[in-house]
């Protein structure tokens, strides 16, 4: 097994991973940085983000307003010290991106343009048409190229963390091109591997979003925090799940039911406002959890539109005009035409909610440090407790930047604090790496297995779709917990049919399935135990928010093939006591 020595290993080369690599290289040019990704960086899922990134820039806005919107939008499950730090750092990071060349849209006076986004009382979302993630990722990727200390390992699949003497000291990864396993010894590891939305069948997430980084940390003893909170985006294409950005509604698009009625006023998000003049905090600019839940209620009432792709509501943007759409929503128009044959300039487009983002993930503090010394995490794979029970749109792209940088600075502090005479126990780390290699060899050598990857994956997805959706109940969640536990046992008999070494996609899909099952386990266990409704976690049998019992983060600990251990951690409250989420538009 080839040994690669580095100072910091970063798993994932999307927005958070690239930002961490830049911060490391800037802070200390002598550091050796290994950037490990299972896809080329520009294929990372950050590229798919459309709408924009939130940061206070205009004179009528304030950090306190951004704080209030984020905490209220998260249904008071956000750690407020983390939110305070985030809103302060966000404008700095977005300005830094501009200096690196990110082509933000501009006002006529040359200043940065901002657009409205759901749950935000002021316009503060910076954007680059509706391809913001692409431009952010491109800017970060190009910036990394100037630093010779960053070595990329593209198309490497990360396998296991190497833990010795109570701290993380590296990882193993497989080079996809050769099938060879490499041992990376590192003084610090940063996980920036994205979310796990592919445990659901209908999602905006690309095929790479399988929770690999989450599962690696989970298996190494780090708890997964708040995994029960899964965000549905209200406007996905009904056949592919492709995202139609929240900017559609930020620019003035409206949601109507089968009768052509703007129904959101029936769900605490009124009053209705004139077309083309969206009123902040109301109607279509309610937060994502509330807008998705309203669709569910319209479905129960029989108010949805029957299409060849199932039940939908309609997103109408015709009144915006072709000029506005081509300037600010060109990708949305392309997607609707390509996948549905609908030109949004001429016709409403059918949409329905789709799994989009996981608020939960690897437990970290606001410095992006996990409970395992030497291990840090940032981005969607991490739960720094910024987003609480529901993420506000356009906060996540800035989260990548703010906490990607924090992870890097924390990793440097960790390295500096190591004893000067610190020498990794080479034999111990080699033994750990050998265990990782043996796990892969066991998969290859199994000939008497009875389970297929595709069969298990379908059962997992069907279970999650049926029981862990927008609305949940005790019986369904218990069924999901039992089913996922059974699937994890059956996974021990899964067969890898392709025995080759070169780009063995069969093997990688089997490994990804194991990670997804681990993440699904943590999610369902946390959801069953949380007997309240809060944000994106809605219980039909416990319809009220219960601050007395559940103003706490769920913490799920891996226990092998046994049921995981569940614990809780108190939410940090600094200046905003729990209140009522009011998006009626009647208050100031």
Q: Provide the annotated active-site residues.
A: 233, 249
Which helix (DSSP H) or strand (DSSP E) does residue 529 occupy?
helix 505-529
Instruction: At 253, list the tokens.
Output: 């698009």
Strand pairing report for 349-358 and 565-570: unpaired
Rounded to whole angstroms, the Cα distance separating 509 from 455 reads 12
| DSSP state at residue 203 | B
Rounded to whole angstroms, the Cα distance separating 402 from 399 reads 5
Query: For residue 514, how many other CB atoms are within 10 A of its CB?
Result: 22
CA distances for 578 relative to 229, 293, 300, 535, 572, angstroms: 18, 21, 30, 13, 11
Residue 122 and residue 61 in contact, taking contact as beta carbons nearer than 8 Å: yes
Which helix (DSSP H) or strand (DSSP E) does residue 164 occupy?
strand 156-164
Convert 352-421 into a string of H (helix), E (strand) and C (coil).
EEEEEEECCEEECCCCCECCCCCEEECCCCEECCCCCCCCCCCCHHHHHHHHHHHHHHHHHHHHHHCCCC
Of 504, 516, 499, which Cα lies nearest the Cα of 458?
516
Of 456, 459, 499, 516, which Cα lies nearest the Cα of 205?
516
Of 188, 189, 196, which Cα lies nearest the Cα of 215?
196
Give Cβ neighbours of residue 134 (< 8 Å, ≥ 6 apart). Answer: 47, 49, 128
Report the chain's terminal Cα–Cα distance, integer Å: 63
CA distances for 122 relative to 62, 109, 149, 249, 337, angstroms: 9, 20, 41, 14, 32
SS3 at position 483:
helix
Rounded to whole angstroms, the Cα distance separating 295 from 288 reads 11
CA distances for 126 relative to 356, 537, 551, angstroms: 20, 29, 32
Rounded to whole angstroms, the Cα distance separating 115 from 250 reads 6
């Amino acid at each position: 097994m080839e040994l690669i020595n580095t100072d910091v290993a970063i798993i994932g080369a999307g927005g958070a991973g690239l930002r961490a690599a830049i911060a490391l290289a800037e802070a200390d040019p002598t550091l050796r940085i290994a950037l490990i990704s299972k896809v080329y960086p520009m294929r990372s899922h950050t590229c798919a983000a459309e709408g924009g990134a939130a940061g206070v820039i205009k004179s009528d806005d304030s950090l306190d307003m951004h704080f209030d919107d984020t905490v209220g939008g998260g249904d008071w499950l956000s750690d407020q010290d983390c939110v305070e730090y985030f809103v302060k750092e966000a404008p700095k990071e977005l300005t830094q991106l501009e200096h690196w060349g990110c082509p933000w849209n501009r006002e006529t006076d040359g200043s940065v343009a901002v657009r409205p986004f759901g749950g935000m009382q002021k316009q503060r979302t910076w954007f680059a048409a509706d391809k913001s993630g692409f431009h952010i990722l491109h800017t970060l990727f190009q910036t990394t190229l100037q630093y010779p200390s960053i070595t990329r390992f593209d198309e490497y699949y990360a396998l296991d963390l190497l833990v010795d003497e109570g701290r993380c000291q590296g990882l193993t990864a497989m080079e996809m091109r050769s099938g060879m396993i490499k041992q990376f010894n590192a003084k610090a590891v940063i996980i920036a591997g994205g979310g796990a939305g592919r445990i659901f069948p209908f999602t905006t997430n690309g095929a790479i979003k399988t929770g690999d980084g989450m599962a690696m940390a989970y298996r190494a003893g780090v708890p997964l925090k708040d995994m029960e909170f899964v965000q549905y985006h209200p406007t996905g294409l009904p056949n592919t799940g492709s995202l139609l950005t929240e900017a559609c509604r930020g620019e003035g698009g409206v949601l109507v039911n089968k009768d052509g009625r703007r129904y959101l006023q029936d769900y605490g998000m009124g009053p209705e406002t004139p077309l083309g003049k969206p009123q902040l905090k109301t109607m279509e600019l309610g937060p994502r959890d509330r807008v998705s839940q309203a669709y569910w209620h319209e479905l129960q009432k029989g108010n949805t539109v029957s299409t060849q792709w199932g039940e939908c509501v309609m997103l109408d943007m015709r009144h915006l005009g072709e000029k506005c759409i081509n300037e600010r929503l060109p990708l949305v128009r392309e997607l609707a035409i390509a996948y549905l044959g609908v030109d949004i300039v001429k016709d409403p487009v059918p949409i329905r909610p789709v799994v989009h983002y996981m608020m939960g993930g690897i437990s970290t503090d606001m410095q992006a440090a996990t409970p395992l010394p030497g291990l840090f995490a940032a981005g969607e794979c991490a739960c720094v407790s910024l987003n609480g029970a529901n993420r506000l749109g356009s906060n996540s792209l800035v989260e990548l930047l703010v906490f990607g940088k924090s992870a890097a600075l924390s990793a440097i502090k960790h390295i500096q604090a190591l004893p000067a005479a610190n020498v990794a126990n080479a034999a111990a780390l080699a033994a750990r790496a050998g265990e990782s290699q043996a796990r892969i060899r066991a998969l290859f050598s199994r000939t008497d297995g009875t389970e297929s990857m595709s069969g298990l994956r379908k059962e997992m997805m069907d279970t999650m779709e049926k029981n862990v959706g927008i609305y949940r109940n005790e019986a369904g969640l218990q069924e999901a917990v039992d089913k996922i536990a059974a699937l994890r046992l059956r996974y021990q008999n899964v067969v890898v049919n392709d025995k080759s070494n070169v780009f063995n996609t069969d093997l990688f899909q089997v490994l990804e399935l194991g990670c997804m099952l681990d993440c699904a386990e943590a999610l369902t266990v946390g959801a069953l135990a949380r007997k309240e409704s809060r944000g994106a976690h809605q219980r039909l049998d416990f319809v009220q928010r219960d601050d007395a019992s559940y103003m706490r983060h769920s913490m799920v600990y891996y226990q092998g093939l046994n049921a995981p251990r569940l614990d809780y951690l108190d939410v940090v409250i600094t200046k905003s006591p729990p209140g009522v989420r009011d998006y009626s538009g009647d208050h100031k």
